[in-house]
Structures are given as structure tokens and as C-alpha cells.
Amino acid sequence: MALLPILRYPDPRLNKIATAVDEVDARVRRLIDDMLDTMYAAEGVGLAATQVDEHRRVIVIDTSEERRSPLILINPEIVWRSADIVLGEEGCLSVPAIYDKVERHSAVTVRALDRGGSTFERRVEGLTAVCVQHEMDHLLGKVFVEYLSPLKRERIRSKMAKRTREEQQEQRHRA
């Protein structure tokens, strides 16, 4: 088990565009396992490789209550979107303690490779559909707060900067 450090907004590495995985090899499977450990430890419902500074098209999601049903998406593509749009509150492990409303398709069909390297399609709705769209944005270098107004985004930036400063001070005091 390995926990990976999660990049925090507004780290510019969160804006990098991930590249496709050529081959689902042992290295990719290791990344998936570490991402699952990291997501479960952080009590998140989804994590994109971009957030752990690995710029490959890999996502892990688990929206189940028992937290034992991971959905692994390698090179995901959305092949169908519902016309129906929902406005829901979102958060992100890279923007801790910040929640705001974002519009998403209420259901999507995603095509991806699984951890064995086989192609599959899955139709998802509700929280899982929101999560798939949110994590796929990460692979394109987009964080959900970038959908918000410039004013809100500025407020979030200063909040995050303040928190990072406070944490650094705490660390210095402990050292």
C-alpha cells in the first residue's frame, strides 16, 4: 500500500493534459492500486491520475456505501450524454473543504479499458455520472472551481493559499 501526495489547487500541475495509456502493464496497475489506497484514505469518491502528478489517462472511482466497488477507467471516453442536466454540489480532494454547484449531464455512457486492458462500456447516472465527468475534466487539466465565477475562484485561491501558509507554519513549529 502506498499513499500518494495529492496536488492542491491552484498548483499549475493540475492544469496539465494527461496522455493516453499505451499498454496496461504492471506499472499502470501499480498506479491504480496506489490511487485506490490514496482515494480511500482521503475518503474521496474519485481520483484522477493528474491529481497525484501522473499525467496519464487513469481514473479511479468508488461511490458505493461499502467502499468496495471500485470503478477503474483507463483512457475513458464519453460515448453518450443525457440531454438532461443537473446542478449538484461538488467537492474535490485537490480543493479540500470547498463545495460549490456545477452543471453536469445526469447520465453518461463511458467507454474505457479495465485493469486487465479490456474495453468495456458502462452507463452511469447520479453521483457516479457526476464523478466520471468531474474526473475526466481533471485529465484535461480542468478543476471544478474553474466553472465558477472569477470572484468565487479568487476567494477560493486566497483561502487555499492561507491554509497552505498556516500548514507550513505548523510544520516549522513542530520541527
The residues that are catalytic are 135
Q: How far is the CB of 80 from Ni ion (least distance, A)?
A: 23
Give the x-and-dash track for 71-110 against Ni ion (CB under 5 A).
---------------------x------------------
Residue 132 near residue 78, CB atoms below 8 Å: yes
Chain centroid to CA 13: 13
Neighbours of 125 (CB within 10 A): 15
CA 111 to chain centre: 17
Q: Which is nearer to Ni ion, 91 or 111 (CB)?
A: 91
Q: By C-beta, is 75 or 133 nearer to Ni ion? A: 133
Q: How far is the CB of 93 from Ni ion (least distance, A)?
A: 6
What percent helix, strand, coil does the chain show, rounded to 5? 40, 25, 35
Shortest distance, position 147 Cβ to Ni ion, whole Å: 12
Q: Least distance from C-beta 92 to Ni ion, angstroms?
A: 3
d(CA 111, CA 126): 17
Closest-by-Cβ residue to Ni ion is 92
CB 102 within 8 A of CB 144: yes
139 binds Ni ion (CB under 5 A): no
| Contact call for residue 6 and Ni ion (CB under 5 A) | no
Which parts of this chain interact with Ni ion (CB under 5 A)? Answer: 92
